[in-house]
Amino acid sequence: MAKVESFELDHTKVKAPYVRLIKVEKGPSGDEISNFDLRLVQPNQNAIPTAGLHTIEHLLAGLLRDRMDGVIDCSPFGCRTGFHLITWGTPSTTEVAKALKSSLEQIANDIKWEDVPGTTIESCGNYKDHSLFSAKEWSKLIVSQGISDDPFVRN
């Protein structure tokens, strides 16, 4: 089976919350894309429950694009400890950490239910599995811990 980089990371050595560059890939014409590990909670110690994670997903999709150019996709890890972020170009982990922190602050402090995109039976694949309360409480906790731009150094 093809080897995947993410399973080579020693998850016992990292200190979440952090932003890590997984890799930069170059296309045949020379365009670059970056793949980041946005690790919100400490591996194997915690995991964000599905409803809160789902609401954070819908909000980050809009809020990160408001703050960064070239966002291709931001999707949760199956392990529910964070998200992949894929972008055009090569933003630094410092830039990404700043955009992530500010997005989570907006979730914690400003977002109201009416602001959450994709919460109806038409616009969502599982509209009954959302929790803005959970999204806000997790965002508050993550921001209070500081988001490092180095996976091995606590902020």
Applying CB under 8 A, which residues contact its own copies?
A: 1-4, 6-12, 25, 27-33, 35, 39, 43-44, 47, 50, 53-59, 61-63, 65-66, 72-73, 75-82, 84, 86, 88, 115, 117-118, 121-129
- The whole-angstrom separation of Cα 24 and Cα 54 is 27
- Helix, strand, or coil here: 95? helix
Contact letters for ligand RHC, residues 60-79 (x by CB under 6 A):
-x-----------xxx-xxx
Residue type, 77: F
H helix count then E strand count, the chain:
3, 4
- Ligand-binding annotation for 74, yes or no, is no
- The whole-angstrom separation of Cα 68 and Cα 155 is 22
Which CB sits closer to ligand RHC, 51 or 79? 79
Q: Which residues, at least 6 apart from 64, have a Cβ–Cβ distance to it below 8 Å?
A: 71, 74, 85, 99, 100, 103
Residue type, 134: S
For position 106 contacting ligand RHC by CB under 6 A, the verdict is no
For position 151 contacting ligand RHC by CB under 6 A, the verdict is no
Residues that bind ligand RHC (CB under 6 A): 4, 6, 54, 57, 61, 73-75, 77-79, 84, 118, 124-126
